[in-house]
Structure 1
């Protein structure tokens, strides 16, 4: 019978062991008191009996209790051998102490690592105790036939009780192992969710930085380069206008950085509608690049304002990323931004007449990948239609349902 130490370490099992200790010492104390007050024992036998009871109490404390907790094999073997000797000697001196079997028989099973060991030692215990009873009765055949049925019944009860205890403990061990596995799986799942949350937050912050701060910095670099060229040519007024645009862009970047730290709504949408922000973005882009930017709405201003905040953020970031790509790659002269409702939801389309590219032959950069990730998180789709020499059209569609404010 396999009884690893992990089973003993369980709080319920520890409390059960304490109960076993109390019952053992209570029964042993009762037999000692009975031996003291009975008239059946001579003084010599009474002293011998009390010595055996004291020895049994001592070895139980020194050998059995540590063996039950720490699974020390030699202590278990030594205790059971001495226990069988003490109990059989006590029964030989005072047959009424036979009821000690009720507590010592389970100890054999508790301290055994295999069922075969427990069965063998149980038989040894009952044979020894039966022999002690027979000795006390004078070795008569009548006493033998009186004792035999009780020994057989005691052995059968001990076997059934011991095997039942072993099955209960085995099932408890399996349940404990299952609980440990479930707890480990729960901890792993919680760690995985935490890691996924951290990665998702990092990705979100990366997209926000790319769509706001990085694009703002790119605009500042291009404006400063243009201003430097104009100053070298003596064009003071155009350079001053560029410097003013740099200051405005830097202020907006600073506000966006503060909003990112505080996890607020984009600064551009905090005091204006999406339609107003798109028009303002188009005007600024035209002023910075000289590209003709047209913003058209196929929906009323109040319908735009009624869009959930989450949708407005996604649509705004899509427009910003598309304009950034036009600035860096397209070489376009005209850009069209169109916002409207469709049967499937709300859509924004950004098209240009630039150089275009082959989407299948050119891996998308981080900006387009970030746009796709943001839109897909909202349940939407991104489509890119482009070809060399005929411009690019980016369309973002977000379903009208399932969006959160």
Structure 2
């Protein structure tokens, strides 16, 4: 006789409990294959790994629940037990659909606890009525760990699950010590496997959430970097446009104002011929400014360079400057015209704008009588020098206006350098050098 229940050993043998670990290999393989399949087909690379495997978890749960129902109908359960078994399975399915699945996605504490308690209770009933339902422990253990907040919580609920299922099996076979010792090893194995698997799931979820946060931070940093690059590009374009306008339209307008003032003075003195010449110069300057404005809208190549070589444009600028100011301007070329024409367009633009800016400063500040423009080629690259005999200044004491700053910015963008030498009463020398490497690259 059995010590606790009075059942015979033969009856106990016929009703021996189904070890939980017997169904482990098949359940683990099925679970793993579903996880891998969903993971490999997931399209949201910015989602945490565990959220992309939820479809696999859902499929495994419903498949195992359906298998459990099918096995119960093929067994020898009496109508009362069958009805109780089906009722418990329906309650478990409804709890998973309406409480468990939303809780897994939302990670809210109250629904998570409620579902896991219902899960354990339903599983205890199912195993008590039909011991073959024990393989549901593995999906139940996984769901417990999916919904836990820390390892201690998962371990406590896993222990509750194992104890409840073990008690259900003992109730099914009868409360005997023989059945207890048969069940105990498999329950311990199930508990250890559940703990190991649960700790792994917890680490996966934690790492996935950390990766999702890192990806979010990287995307935010990338957006900020793109915005910074866009702002820098806008500022650079504004500075470039400001330099173009300063070197062309602003200087042309300055010439027009000075010519108009000179013409007004000559008209007051009765010098109609001189005034007419000034008016003609005003018209020429205005037409050239209009052409430059159209060129700025269409492109950034100066109109003068599109119609003549750099040496010709420099001579023309010198002649007009001399006519407008009365300053003697000389242009000297230390390299043949064909070599000047062979210079890259970008270098010619930089050299021309530098000469225009230097002449504008002579007009405004130098009170010079002579200006010499020299264009040459050396081992270091191509250079242009503008020298005047004006009043000069102390470069260290002058921060520099927009014109000189714009000149430096334009030249440095081409890889070149600007040197300014001046002293009070000794004139000024401005030299712009563009390296040969920049010439070759251009």
Q: Which TM-score tier does this pair reach, normalised by the shorter chain?
A: over 0.9
Q: 2:80 aligns with which of 41, 44, 57?
A: 44
Alpha-carbon separation, structure 2, partners of 1:266 and 1:259: 7
Corresponding residue number in structure 1 for 2:420? 384
Q: Which residue of 2 aligns with 1:101?
A: 137
Matches within 5 A, 1:323-334: 323-334=359-370
Say if 2:416 and 2:434, in contact at 8 Å, map to a contact too.
yes
Q: Which of 72, 83, 92 lines up with 2:119 in the alignment? A: 83
SS in 1 for 2:429: strand
Mapped partners of 1:103, 1:285: distance in 2:
91
How big is each residue's C-alpha offset from its partner over 1:273-329, in whole Å with a ceiling of 9 and x where there is no partner? 100000000000001111110001011001111111111111100100010001111
Contact preservation (8 Å) 2:48, 2:208: no
- Aligned match of 1:364 in 400, 411, 423? 400
2:110 equivalent to 1:74: yes
- Where does structure 1 lack aligned partners over 5 or more consecutive residues? 1-6
Question: Which residue does 2:64 correspond to in 1?
Answer: 27
Structure 1 residues 402 and 287, CA, compared in 2 at 3 Å: closer, same or farther? Answer: same
Larger relative contact order, structure 1 or 2 (CA cutoff 8 Å, min sep 6): 2
In the alignment, does 2:206 pair up with 1:178?
Answer: no
Aligned with 1:393: secondary structure? strand
Deviation, structure 1 residue 8? 13
Structure 2: distance between partners of 1:95 and 1:384: 97
Question: Aligned pair 1:295/2:337, yes or no?
Answer: no
The residue number in structure 1 matching 2:19 is: none
5+ unaligned residues in a row in structure 2: which ranges? 1-43
CA distance in 2 between counterparts of 1:31 and 1:390 reads 104
Q: Is the 8 A contact 1:8 1:14 kept in 2?
A: no
> Secondary structure of the equivalent of 2:372?
strand
Take 1:286 and 1:262, find their aligned partners in 2: how far apart are those partners? 30
Provide closer, same or farther for how the CA distance between residues 11 and 159 of structure 1 changes in structure 2, counting only shifts above 3 A: closer
Candidates 330, 335, 340, aligned match of 2:376: 340
Query: 1 CA distance for matches of 2:188 and 2:173?
Result: 18
Secondary structure (helix, strand or coil) at the match of 1:139 reads coil
Q: Look up the SS of the partner of 1:360 in the other structure.
A: helix
Shift of the 162–12 alpha-carbon distance from structure 1 to 2, 3 Å rule, reads closer
**What is the match of residue 212 of structure 1?**
248
CA distance in 2, matches of 1:123, 1:169: 21
Match of 2:40 in 1: none
RMSD of aligned alpha carbons: 1.5
| 1:399 CA drift (Å) | 0.6
Alpha-carbon contact 2:48-2:212 (below 8 Å) kept: no
Aligned residues: 398
Q: Distance in 2 between matches of 1:345 and 1:402?
A: 8
Q: Choose from 86, 101, 116 the match for 1:65.
A: 101
Bigger mean CA offset, 311-320 vs 21-30: 21-30
Give, in angstroms, the shift of residue 263 of structure 1.
Answer: 2.1
Over 3 Å counting, the alpha-carbon distance change for 1:9 and 1:18 in structure 2 is: farther
How far 1:361 moved relative to its partner?
1.4
- Say whether the 8 Å CA contact 1:9–1:69 is kept in structure 2: no
Q: Could you say if the C-alpha distance between residues 71 and 214 of structure 1 is closer, same or farther in structure 2, counting changes exceeding 3 Å?
A: same
Q: Using the TM superposition, give the Cα deviation of residue 11 of structure 1 relative to its aligned residue in structure 2, in angstroms.
A: 7.1
In the alignment, does 2:235 pair up with 1:199?
yes
Contact 1:105–1:122 (Cα < 8 Å) also in 2 = yes
Which of 176, 180, 196 aligns to 1:140? It is 176
1:166 aligns with 2:210: no
Query: Which of 110, 120, 129 is the equivalent residue of 2:146?
Result: 110
Question: Deviation per CA, 1:44-101, whole angstroms, max 9, x where unpaired?
Answer: 1110111111111111111101111111211111111111111001101111110111
1:108 touches 1:122 (CA, 8 Å); kept in 2? Answer: yes
Q: What TM-score does the superposition give when structure 1 sets the normalisation length?
A: 0.95
| 1:226 match | 262
Give the distance between the partners of 1:126 and 1:241, measured in 2 at CA.
109
How far apart, CA to CA, are the structure 1 residues paired with 2:213 and 2:180? 48
Matched position secondary structure for 1:339: strand
Q: Which residue of 1 aligns with 2:340?
A: 304
CA drift of 1:176 comes to 2.3
How big is each residue's C-alpha offset from its partner over 1:91-147, in whole Å with a ceiling of 9 and x where there is no partner? Answer: 011111101112111000001111100000000000000000001010111110110
Q: Alignment partner of 1:363: what SS?
A: coil
Indicate the SS of the match to 1:357: coil
CA distance in 1, matches of 2:238, 2:179: 87
Residue of structure 1 in register with 2:17 after alignment: none
